[in-house]
Every structure is written in C-alpha cells, then in structure tokens.
Amino acid sequence: MDPNEILNEINITFVRHGTTEYNEQNRVQGSSDIPLSKKGYEDIEKVVLTHCNYDLYFHSPLMRSKDTLYSILEKYGTIPDKKHIVESSCVTERGYGIFEGLTPSEIEEQYPSYYHEWIINENVKGDNIEPIEEVIYRIEKFIAKCIGYNNKRILVVTHSGFLYALYKYITDSPLHLKPTDFLVSFPNCCVVDLQILVHSHHSELNFKIKGNIIQKIIKYS
C-alpha cells in the first residue's frame, strides 16, 4: 500500500460561541454556564461558513455553545436529524476554578499569588483550574473520534480555551504561553478549519487560520 495514499478525509469547522455578558465584562467564564447576550446573537448573524450542511454537529455541554449552534442552524435554514447533533465534553471550555466569574483585577485582589503566576504562565494549576495538558488530552480524544468517521464534514461550536489549546497542540508550542504571546486570536464567533488526512502509517492535520495552513503529522506506532 502506498503510504501517501489518502484513506480518509475529515473536514472540521470550529466556531467559537457568541458573546456573553461575562465576555463583555471581561470576566473569566471557564466551566460557568453563562448564556449568550444580545450582542452574542447579533454576532452569530455575521458568521460565514463555507458550507450550509454538515454530516455531524458538535457542541459542548455549556448553553452558550449549544445556543450558538442552534442559532447558526436557524440562520442557514438547516434542520439536521437530532442523531447528528452531539453534545461532547471533549470540546468544552477549560475549567478555570477559582478564577471563574472574576475580572483580572478581581483575581489580582483576591488571589495575588495565583494572579502573578498566571500573568506569566497560562498553565497555572491548582484550585480546580484545569491543566492545559488535560485540555489537549480531550483534543486528542476528539480527533481520534473524528478519524473514526469516514469522509465526513463536521461543524463544532466550542470555546476560546479549547481553540488556544488546539493551536498549541498543532504548533507544539510551550503550554505556559499566554494568548497574547501569539499572532493569532480567537474572538467570539471566529471560524477556523481543521482538515484530517488519514494515511496508512500517519495522519496529517492541516489547521487553516487567516489564510495560512499549519501542518502536524501524527505517526502511528
């Protein structure tokens, strides 16, 4: 078998959820279940997808993800079978523990030692703050699940913490780096694409963002 032959191609479109009041107030959300704000629904009207129909749709357990997905479906007039809409904890937001519900200034005031570590190390740990390693484990689990779908087009509504962890995973970036350390950002309702090409001895991940393609090779043992 030709090792370069493509056996399976999966195309995943990731959309970050619409704006919430916590976003507008610059509060840490994490696993807190915060609904979309009025602006969030307005943001969704500006979402532009390459396709109107997908084979599978994923959202996280958080209402801002689910409501964004259903609003996108309504916008495009898409009515998929319910069995093709999947709630997955793999694509949920990173848990931020004691930081959740607070602004950066409030975190500095209430938890100064954590704050001063956090401003230089995104992978700060403790007090129910989810390590980025665990988010990447969820990402690997989700990618493995998607590889099991043959030649599918998938839409996923997810969160910024997930997308930054995905970017670190694809680029093999140090986990301590802050979002401000990157030239890319993932604002509310942004759209990025991941193409997975499955070969006999490896998978090729092509992450498409702002006209650029970043490639990662996963070799099979």
CB atoms within 10 A of CB 19: 22
Is residue 151 pLDDT above 90, yes or no?
no
Mean pLDDT, residues 96-108: 97
Helix pair angle (132-147, 160-171), 10° resolution: 80
Least confident of 48-52, 58-62, 67-71, 129-133: 48-52
The model's confidence at residue 1, banded by pLDDT at 50, 70 and 90, is low
Q: Hey, what domains does the chain have and what are their CATH numbers? A: 8-96+131-219 (3.40.50.1240)
Contact (Cβ atoms closer than 8 angstroms) between residue 102 and residue 129: no
pLDDT tens track for 178-195: 999 999 999 999 999 999
User: pLDDT value at position 211?
Assistant: 83
Q: Which residues neighbour 180 within 8 Å (Cβ) at sequence distance 6 or greater? A: none
Q: What is the pTM of this model?
A: 0.95
pLDDT at 220: 82
pLDDT category at 72 given cuts 50, 70, 90 is very high
**CA 91 to CA 142: how far, in whole Å?**
8
- 169 residue type, one letter: Y
